[in-house]
Amino acid sequence: MDRVLEVMRGHQRVPSGSREFKELTKRDAQTQLAHELEGLLATTVDDETKRSVEQEFQGFKRLFERFLLDKDSTISWDRIQKLPENAVRDHSTLKEPASEQLHAMLNKLVVVKLNGGLGTSMGCHGPKSVIPVRSELTFLDLTVQQIEYLNKKYQVDVPLVLMNSFNTDADTQKIVRKYRGLQVKIYTFNQSCYPRINKESLMPIARNCDVENDIDAWYPPGHGDFYESFKNSGLLKKFLEEGREYVFISNIDNLGATVDLSIADLLLHTDEKSPEFVMEVTDKTRADVKGGTLIQYENKLRLLEIAQVPKEHVEDFKSVKTFKFFNTNNLWVKLSAIDRVLSENSMNIEIIVNNKSLDNGLNVIQLETAVGAAMKSFEGGIGINVPRRRFLPVKKTSDLLLVMSNLYSLQNGSLVMNPERMFLTTPLVKLGDNHFAKVKEFLARFANSPNIIELDHLTVSGDVTFGRGVVLKGTVIIIANHGDRIDIPAGAVLENKIVSGNLRILDH
């Protein structure tokens, strides 16, 4: 009897140290997760789907294990080192490549656009890349125009690769058919599809692998999934066999992320050993304080995101003086290095834990990663401080106002700043969420795009509409309080003005 009690005590968890308890619960969670994933895998409809899902689940299990270990999620603030002298090169110091080098150089390049996002935050259905942004042309139209122009001008064959998610793939496949007659080869692959996890039980909420019929149970795990999914798709191997050397990665909604010949020259025609990873950064302004930045840490250049910053140092992180640059998410990565890092299983990307509440009230977590955070896994990484024109993201309708305006002209799919603009910076625009957040509402409030060549700052809040030919200069603030309405008349010129109250001009 005493022996039995002894054995029973051996299995009791309470007396064990808290570290041992945590280790046991982690092992339990991993074992239970593996069991749940096996059950999900059994619901796949055919062998091909099963093989594909099994491959993705392997990636998810590794991510989940790293999440449980909770390593590297925050950094030790006092161990951040000063950036070495040549860690960030200034774009203006790069040379233009010789014209006779361009053909061979560009044929070593692959362009990848991250195309996994939906346009729901701007009130649109389907992929964000199909929202019209300029002259009825979409993000995707402009991207294809840019690459086709490059291929025609230099007689090269730069491929365009779209990384879709299960949310955007079907719609994107229909749309890319219209580009078949153009001089650009388009490839697509899907990033992984991972199960959302119940916050309490840490187990998947999905009951089967029929994603379409249970869409809330699944999610795409952020663009850090690019590397593994790119390799799994077979495209990494294909491009290496073709002799391609670098991939240029950027967000589809960044209209400034065009192929930069000076950066390509640095990578492909350098006397020194070419860096395996290049991150384009740009000068931080007060509007960019939350953007990730470059730091030197443990003798390596790496990306620091606000989520990794200890709470007591968040204000330090936001300081424009301390951290002068932020990440544009325009990245240049050596293909052979991606292959090596994945083969060695040495890819180390911090996990972003994204908490969400579903419509049914269930609290879930999504484990995500960011593509730029892989920088520390590569050798010889550098930053390049690029002009602001290479960072023109369209996240909100306020960004849309800028890219639709006379601030830019369109040249071969690229936006070019109007030479009449006296400043290289773009105006700071804030539009009220209640009346301007959705693209359809936003467009209905402007008879046409206002002239903003001399605008510094625009704030608009409430029920406000703009007539045709409005000119905005300096700082303009227009506030219609609840119940009020302001109609800015056609042809109005507002310079350093505050408009509030009611203003309506009626036809007679």
Position 193 pLDDT exceeds 80: yes
What local confidence, expressed as pLDDT, does residue 11 receive?
38
Position 259 pLDDT exceeds 50: yes
**223 annotated among ligand-binding-site residues:** yes
DSSP state letter for 350: P
Comparing C-alpha atoms, which of 118, 25, 94, 66 is closest to residue 278?
Answer: 94
Q: Are the CB atoms for 261 and 269 separated by under 8 Å?
A: no
* Active-site residue flag, 113: no
Q: What is the maximal distance between C-alpha atoms in the chain?
A: 101
Torsion angle of the four alpha carbons 383, 143, 407, 492, in this order, in degrees rounded to the nearest 10: -140
Phi and psi dihedrals of 249, rounded to 5?
Answer: -110, 135
**222 annotated among ligand-binding-site residues:** yes
- Position 180, amino acid: R
| Domain 77-390 bears CATH identifier 3.90.550.10 | yes
Give yes or no on whether 77-390 and 397-500 have one common fold.
no
The 10s digit of each residue's pLDDT in 5-56 is: 333 333 333 444 566 655 667 778 888 999 999 999 999 888 888 998 999 9
Q: Helices 99-106 and 261-268 sit at what angle, rounded to 10 degrees?
A: 80
Sorted by sequence, the CB contacts under 8 Å of residue 270 that are 6+ apart come out as none
The 10s digit of each residue's pLDDT in 381-402 is: 999 999 999 999 999 999 999 9
Sorted by sequence, the CB contacts under 8 Å of residue 340 that are 6+ apart come out as none
Q: Which one of 61, 231, 395, 430 is the catalytic residue?
A: 395
Sign of CA dihedral 38, 40, 44, 50: negative
3-state secondary structure of 81: strand
What local confidence, expressed as pLDDT, does residue 306 receive?
85
What local confidence, expressed as pLDDT, does residue 364 receive?
95
What local confidence, expressed as pLDDT, does residue 13 receive?
37
What local confidence, expressed as pLDDT, does residue 6 receive?
37
**334 annotated among ligand-binding-site residues:** no
Which residue ranges make up each domain of the chain?
77-390, 397-500
**191 annotated among ligand-binding-site residues:** yes
What local confidence, expressed as pLDDT, does residue 7 receive?
34
If you average pLDDT over residues 198-213, what whole number do you get? 91
What local confidence, expressed as pLDDT, does residue 21 receive?
56
- Position 402, amino acid: L
Burial of 294 (0-12, 13-18, 19+ CB in 10 A): buried
What local confidence, expressed as pLDDT, does residue 505 receive?
54
Task: Give me the count of residues in the chain.
Answer: 508
Rounded to the nearest integer, the mean pLDDT of the chain is 89
Of the listed ranges 64-78, 188-202, 346-360, 471-485, the least confidently predicted one is 64-78
If you average pLDDT over residues 259-268, what whole number do you get? 94
Give 445 or 324, the one with higher predicted confidence. Answer: 445
CATH number of 397-500: 2.160.10.10
If you average pLDDT over residues 331-348, what whole number do you get? 95
Position 130 pLDDT exceeds 60: yes
Comparing C-alpha atoms, which of 167, 161, 182, 187 is closest to residue 120?
Answer: 167
The 10s digit of each residue's pLDDT in 294-319 is: 999 988 898 988 888 888 888 888 88
**455-462 contacts: CB < 8 A, separation 24 or more?**
455/427, 456/423, 456/427, 456/428, 457/427, 457/428, 457/429, 458/427, 458/428, 458/429, 458/430, 459/430, 460/430, 460/431, 460/432, 460/436, 461/431, 461/432, 462/432, 462/434, 462/435, 462/486
Comparing C-alpha atoms, which of 208, 310, 343, 260 is closest to residue 92?
Answer: 260
